[in-house]
Structure 1
Amino acid sequence: MNAIPDEIAILANAGEQMIERLRQKAFLPEARKALNLRFGIAEAAQLLGCSTNRIRMAEDDGRLPPPVPTENGRRPGYTIEELQLMRKVLGASPSRPDGDMPAIMAVQNFKGGVGKSTVTVHLAHYLAIQGYRVLVVDCDSQATTTTLFGFNPHFNISRDETLYPYLSIEPTQDDLDYAIKRTPWPNIDLIPSNLELFDVEYELAAAGVDGQSVLATRFRKLKQGLAQIGRNYDIILLDPPPALGTISLAVMQAANALLVPLAATIPDFCSTVQFLSMMDQVIAQLTAAGFEIDYQFVRLVCSKFASNDPAHSMVREIMAKTFGAALLPTPILESAEISHAAIRMMSVYELDRAVGSAKTHKRCRANLDEVMGQIEILIKGMWTRQASADASLALTSQ
């Protein structure tokens, strides 16, 4: 009798138990993730694009509640909730223009280990700090993004809380409202995932040729569902599986922008070229079948880049020569601070203090801000182009 399946089950169970213990240790005392970020008045003013004096004046005239002094009489930093209120009172919200569609960005590569979920989570947190309303949709049954948001996919999330009831071959949900969960960030919501989401792939594969109409419906359904709830968000980030399957195809069709992370190695470069070739073929087939796919922008971002490694620099140069302007000008640096944050099931943006040296933390945060800021500019450009197109149409119709 082959005991290997039993051994695998034992190993999997032991791993799930350990993840839960790590999660509880990271999120003590209540075993739930909390956000302990504070922003000084100078940083808050910079984020809001105003002077510190304007914030103080709003506090003095009662438009903003004055901060409660600490025990030693010092002025405390502002929480992310207080920062959101300041944006509302001072008219500093960067939300998308009325009438524009939210940016729906897929962070996708069929090559594993490129930092896809890490990029997704850091981008979501950066955008939240800037004041945007963000929805993160974990479409990957490995559920790394769900874990980084403080949920244990094995213990805290059931199949009925994922995309499964909406995308399954016999759906029990007509919209995606049921799956939206609050996160510790007041302006980030999450649709979580767990291993059982993979059942969607099994079901649709089992449908075979007779299920072609079902497949077509599922490809369109995710896009339709996101359009229904998109009015509540500025940006929707999709984290799909690192493989070409039904869910990946649905994500591909639902997105209006694509971000492709790739590490600075030759195997990753070659794999990403194959991914792009496959995407090109699949998009052509989907378009021929009547599916509308329209990406406002496609960008690649070099991740896990070691600036002191000559091999990484060489591959980064190859990327630049190959992809040109489609490659973001700044790579995401490999940093111990990202690893330290991940051990705590956090992003660097959630750390209230440096884990390693202050210099390492500052360098890492500055690098992430620069990369994520470049993506933010692209997103805002989507709305600008839409607004310009609408204005041109209005002028020609007069």
Structure 2
Amino acid sequence: MSRVISFSNYKGGVGKTTSVVNTAHILVLQGYKVLVVDLDPQGNSTLTLSRSNPFEHEYSVGNLLADRDLATEKCLVHTPYNVDLIPANLNTYSLVAGLPANSAKRIFGLKNRLAELAETGRKHDYILVDCPPQIEGALITNAIAASDYYILPIEGESVYALQGVGHLMQAMEAIREDSNSGIRLLGALITMFDGRTTAGKTVREAIEQYFQDLLFKSVVRRNTAINKANLSNRCVCDMEPRSAGCLDYMAFAREMVARLDQMQKH
């Protein structure tokens, strides 16, 4: 059975998409079958994983949610990283906005489509969802309703890193109740961390105090290899496999899998 995990933060620029694509790539390297659902209309996960313009794909997640007659398999893109992908582009906004206000697709569209995909026999060990940077709307609601867990990437150097986190978690809880989802916080991940700066150390201490055991021990350091990979629209372990950025995401992927195994035992 697939584990569905959303990566979510209402702020942009916190390493959300970077974490999705690199974790997906590493899980594939470890032998898992992985699907990434790009629910962010900016389409950056789509651009990186498919190595092509998001508008080049015939169907997007917007088409999938809006068109009942479109088979889920038709939206799947097999990428050069051997990660399956349901792509997004800027048209996703208008397609989802056009759904009737009382439509169940505004909440359960993605969940039903993933169930439909599983029924075809196409199995994925992990389904990672790249959420849009927002805390309301049909896209984030679909992500929460479909997910078992969510991960919160937090920038490790911004003094505003924790601002609004409580509001985000409350919003997640409200949507969870409304959609009868079983979603739980799997953990917070510190990204773009620089332990050499006073700000970095101070922010990390504040994040540790806030999340305690729910904070992943793995930390993604600020790293030129990640920056280069992002600028080239590539995964860091593909571009520089010996870099600190690759090693950090490998450590995080291992810890994420171990934590999931532990949580599912209880």
Q: Distance in 2 between matches of 1:192 and 1:268?
A: 29
The reply to whether residue 280 of structure 1 matches residue 147 of structure 2 is no
Aligned to 1:238: 129
Q: Distance in 1 between matches of 2:197 and 2:225?
A: 18
Q: Distance in 1 between matches of 2:3 and 2:223?
A: 29
Aligned to 1:116: 16
Aligned to 2:73: 177
Deviations 1:236-276 (A, max 9, x none): 01112111210110111100011110112221211323211
Q: Distance in 1 between matches of 2:17 and 2:248?
A: 18
1:381 CA drift (Å): 3.5
1:296 CA drift (Å): 5.2
Other structure's SS at 1:341 match = helix
Aligned to 1:219: 107
Q: Gaps spanning 5+ residues in structure 1: where?
A: 1-100, 355-360, 389-398
Higher relative contact order (CA 8 A, sep 6+): 2
1:297 CA drift (Å): 4.6
Q: Distance in 2 between matches of 1:249 and 1:166?
A: 15
2:6 to 95, 100, 106: 106
1:364 to 245, 255, 258: 245
AA at the equivalent of 1:152: N
Deviations 1:272-295 (A, max 9, x none): 2321122233333x1xxxx32113
1:283-322 residue pairs with structure 2 within 5 A?
283-284=176-177, 286=178, 291-295=179-183, 297-322=185-210
AA at the equivalent of 2:230: A
Choose 222-231 or 256-265, whichever is displaced more: 222-231
Other structure's SS at 1:114 match = coil
Other structure's SS at 1:142 match = coil
Aligned to 2:25: 125
Deviations 1:293-346 (A, max 9, x none): 113552111111111111111111011111111111122111001011122211
Count, aligned residues = 260
The reply to whether residue 350 of structure 1 matches residue 238 of structure 2 is yes
1:202 to 75, 89, 97: 97
AA at the equivalent of 2:225: E
Aligned to 1:164: 62
1:1-398 residue pairs with structure 2 within 5 A?
101-149=1-49, 150-154=51-55, 156-158=56-58, 161-168=59-66, 171-173=68-70, 175-186=71-82, 188-204=83-99, 207=100, 211-212=101-102, 214=103, 216-230=104-118, 231-243=122-134, 244-264=136-156, 265-284=158-177, 286=178, 291-295=179-183, 297-351=185-239, 353=240, 361-381=242-262, 385=265
Other structure's SS at 1:315 match = helix
Q: Gaps spanning 5+ residues in structure 2: where?
A: none
Larger Rg: 1
AA at the equivalent of 1:246: A
Closer/same/farther in 2, CA of residues 363 and 277 from structure 1, 3 Å limit: same
Q: Distance in 2 between matches of 1:164 and 1:343?
A: 26
Residues 65 and 105 in structure 2, CA contact (< 8 A), matched pair in contact too: no
Q: Distance in 2 between matches of 1:297 and 1:141?
A: 24
RMSD: 1.9
Residues 77 and 84 in structure 2, CA contact (< 8 A), matched pair in contact too: yes
Q: Distance in 2 between matches of 1:198 and 1:218?
A: 12
Other structure's SS at 2:12 match = coil
Deviations 1:172-216 (A, max 9, x none): 42x411100111123x21111111011133213xx4xxx32x1x3
Choose 222-231 or 322-331, whichever is displaced more: 222-231
